[in-house]
Structure 1
Amino acid sequence: MRAVVFEDWKTFPVLKDVHKPTPGPGEVLLKVAGAGACHSDVAIFQDFDADFNPAGLSTGFILGHENAGWVDELGPGVHGFEKGDAYLVYGPIGCGRCKACSRGQDTYCENAATNPYAAVGLGRDSGMAEYVSVPARNLVPLGDADPAIAAPLADAGLTPYHAIKLATPKLAGADKYALVIGLGGLGLLGVQILKAITGATVIATDMKEDAMAEAEQLGAITVAGGDDQVAKIREITGGTGVDAAFDFVGVSGTIQAAMQSMAIGGRMTVLGIAGQPYEWTFYTTPYEVELTNSYWGTIEDLHEVAELFRVGKIEPKVTKYPMDKALEAYQDLVDGKVSGRAVVTPNE
């Protein structure tokens, strides 16, 4: 089968023929409907090396951690799945034994340092291929929903949903405001999720006019980036600031803008993995503001995200690429040409 393989550090991935996987005990083989191309993948082959390797990866695996497809074959000991049914894949794979894994939060596995890989697509062969084998436990049913469109929900939907869900106490009640910074694949889904599960007024900001136009169509009030960005955000809130903010960029400037926009007692979550620093000081931070981060979410969260998709409350904006143009999808991502999410469709 054809697959996009990350072969070496600081090296663009290659499209090559590899062996079709066989599902092992407790695993299910999916015929891939869609695999999302994410900036995290770009970081792996463009930024990581043997010395800077936060995920503890080795080279030589198939990329793609946002996957959905149809059941093709069951491994030994697996029951309850019908061939042809559509499923979304929960990417993280923990030890399955610790407290975090027991609550479905494999992202925070206590034994991550000794696990053989972090996730499907992070050390383990993934779905940027015609077929992928995954643990049966990690499959979330999609029913009649289109798995090719659903694929980005595995990260671009799950990551904002988990952070927003944790922040919902800050958004309960009347006259609440939420801020979304960065309107790529995750940010646009973040706007939709906020509109779907909270009653907050959503303010969205980006440097791209087309991205802000899309956010407006989804019900957000938009503010362009710039020197007066924070003043405009505070003006919308009547001067009090936002109750929750979600930064999908994570550079120093966006973190600072979010923190300057906060209301007293608000919660600011950094989700972008740019990894840049922010200087906190007592006198420039509104009182009792929480500054935190989060990473992916739980299996339970992904079931809830899939349900929002099935009932039509959220939908990723995707640009499809056939398998022979999979590398073009990654190049477009590197070049900033992708609006929403690039999805490779190996079997379409």
Structure 2
Amino acid sequence: MKAVRFTEWKTKPSLREVPRPKPAPGEVLLKVAGAGACHSDVAVYEQFDETTAGPQLAPEYTLGHETAGWIEEVGEGVLGLTKGDAYLVYGPIGCGHCAACSRGQDTYCENAAKTPFLASGLGKDGGMAEYMTVPARNLVPLGDADPVAAAPLADAGLTPYHAIKLALHKLQGGGKTALVIGLGGLGQIAVQILKATTAATVIATDMKPEAMALAASRGAVTVEGGEGQADRIRELTEGRGVDAVFDFVGLTPTIQLAQKVVGKQGRITVVGIAGGPVSWDFYSNPYEAELTNTYWGTIEELHELAALYRAGHIEVDVTRFSLDDALLAYEHLENGTLLGRAVVVPHLDDATTASLQALADRMPAGV
């Protein structure tokens, strides 16, 4: 079968022929419906090497940690799963027995330094292939929802969902405001999650007019970048400042913007991994305002997010690529020429048929 392989540090991935895997006990073989291309993949093959990344990320393996697909085969001991059913893959894989893993929070596994890999697609063969193996425990049901468009939810959806859920106590009650900085794939999903789970006024900002327009169509109040940006945001809060800020960029200027507009007892969550440094001091920080970061999310939260998706509360903006064009998808990702997420579709005909059937199933009778 074909797969997109990360073969060497600071080297672009390549499309190669590899054997079709077999599910081990407790695993399933998944026929991949869609695999999202993520900036984390680009960081792995462009920026990291053996001195900056742990051995868990060392090549060679198949990329793709945002995956959805259909069950093709089950391994020994797997019960209750039916061939052909669609599932989303929870990517992180921890030790399975520490306190964090027992909560479904494999991202914060206490034994991560000793595990052989970090996640499907990050050390372990992932979804940029025709088939992949997945621990049965890591499957989240999609029902009749489109698995191709769902694929980015495994990271681009779960990451903002986790960040927002941790900040919900700041957004309870009337008159609350939330700010989304950066309206790429994660930011657009964040706007929708905030609208679906809170009564807060959602403010959104980006440098791209088309991204701002899309966020506005989803109920956000948009503020363009440039001079006076912070003042305009504070005006929307009647001078009180924002209750919860979510920065999906993470550059120094975007974090500084968050610091300028956050209100007393507010919360800034830096989600973007650009790594921009900022300064902090007691006198310039609003009283009890928090500045924190976060990473991915739990499998329980992915179940909750999938439920929102199945109910139609979240739409994922995707551009589809065939597996043969997967490297082109990464090229677009590197160049920033896509609005939303790039999804590689290894079985285009099957995915199209399933998508059309899912649409037909949702249509009212007689239409």
Q: CA deviation at 1:55?
A: 7.8
The Cα of 1:227 is off from its aligned counterpart by: 2.5
1:10 maps to 10
Instruction: Give the deviation of 1:255 after TM superposition.
Output: 0.7
Unaligned ranges ≥5, structure 1: none
Pair 50,187 (structure 1): closer, same or farther in 2 beyond 3 Å: same
Are positions 1:287 and 2:287 aligned together?
Answer: yes
Is 2:246 the counterpart of 1:261?
no
1:221-247 alpha-carbon deviations (Å, 9 max, x no partner): 111121311111001111111000100
Deviates more, 1:278-287 or 1:32-41: 278-287
1:293-304 equivalences under 5 Å are 293-304=293-304
* Aligned AA (2:199): G
Q: Distance in 2 between matches of 1:73 and 1:301?
A: 26
1:82 equivalent to 2:108? Answer no
Shift, 1:126, TM fit: 0.3
The one-character-per-residue Cα deviations of 1:123-179 (angstroms, maximum 9, x if unpaired) are 000000000101000000000001001000000110000110111110001110000
Aligned residue for 1:246, secondary structure, equals strand
Letter in 1 for 2:86: A
Identity %: 65
Query: In the TM superposition, what whole-angstrom CA distance separates every residue of 1:44-102 from its partner, at most 9, and x where no partner exists?
Result: 11111121226841111100100000000001111110000000000000000000000
Paired with 2:10 and 2:207, the residues of 1 have a C-alpha distance of 28
Q: Secondary structure at the match of 1:53?
A: coil
**Count of aligned positions:** 348
Q: More displaced, 220-229 or 144-153?
A: 220-229
What is the match of residue 191 of structure 2?
A: 191
CA distance in structure 2 between the partners assigned to 1:25 and 1:229 by the alignment: 55
TM-score (norm 1): 0.99
Q: 1:198 to 1:295 in 2, by over 3 A?
A: same
Counterpart of 2:124? 124
Q: In 1, Cα distance between the equivalents of 2:207 and 2:46? A: 24
Report matched runs for 1:122-271 at 5 Å. 122-271=122-271
* Counterparts of residues 36-75 of structure 1 (less than 5 Å): 36-53=36-53, 56-75=56-75
| Cα distance in 1, alignment partners of residues 259 and 305 from structure 2 | 28
Q: 2:73 and 2:56 mapped to 1: Cα distance?
A: 30
Q: 1:151 to 1:292 in 2, by over 3 A?
A: same
Structure 2 gaps of 5+ residues are 349-367
Read off the aligned partner of 1:231 and give its amino acid letter. D
Question: Quick one: distance in 2 between partners of 1:232 and 1:50?
Answer: 45
Question: Partner letter of residue 262 of structure 2?
Answer: M
Aligned residue identity for 1:86: A
SS at the partner of 1:144? coil
Q: CA deviation at 1:29?
A: 0.6
Alpha-carbon offset, residue 111 of structure 1: 0.2
Give the whole-Å Cα distance in 1 for the aligned partners of 2:72 and 2:56.
31
The residue type equivalent to 1:65 in the other structure is: H
- Are 1:55 and 1:118, in contact at CA under 8 Å, matched by a contact in 2? no
Pair 1:214–1:92, CA change in 2 (3 A): same
Query: Aligned partners of 2:35 and 2:109: how far apart in 1?
Result: 24
Contact 2:170 2:266 in 1 (8 A): yes
Counterpart residue identity of residue 275, structure 1:
G
- Tell me: CA distance 1:54–1:248, structure 2 relative to 1, closer, same or farther (3 Å): farther
CA contact (8 A) 2:3 2:16 kept: yes
Match of 2:356 in 1: none
Q: Which moved more, 1:174-183 or 1:48-57?
A: 48-57
User: Which residue identity does 2:266 align to in structure 1?
Assistant: G
Distance 1:77 1:213 in 2: 49
Letter in 2 for 1:17: E
> Does structure 1 conserve the Cα–Cα contact (< 8 Å) formed by 2:61 and 2:124?
yes
1:21 aligns with 2:28: no
Q: How far has the Cα of 1:17 moved from its partner?
A: 0.7
TM-score normalised to the size of structure 2? Answer: 0.94
**Segments ≥4 residues shifted beyond 2 Å:** none
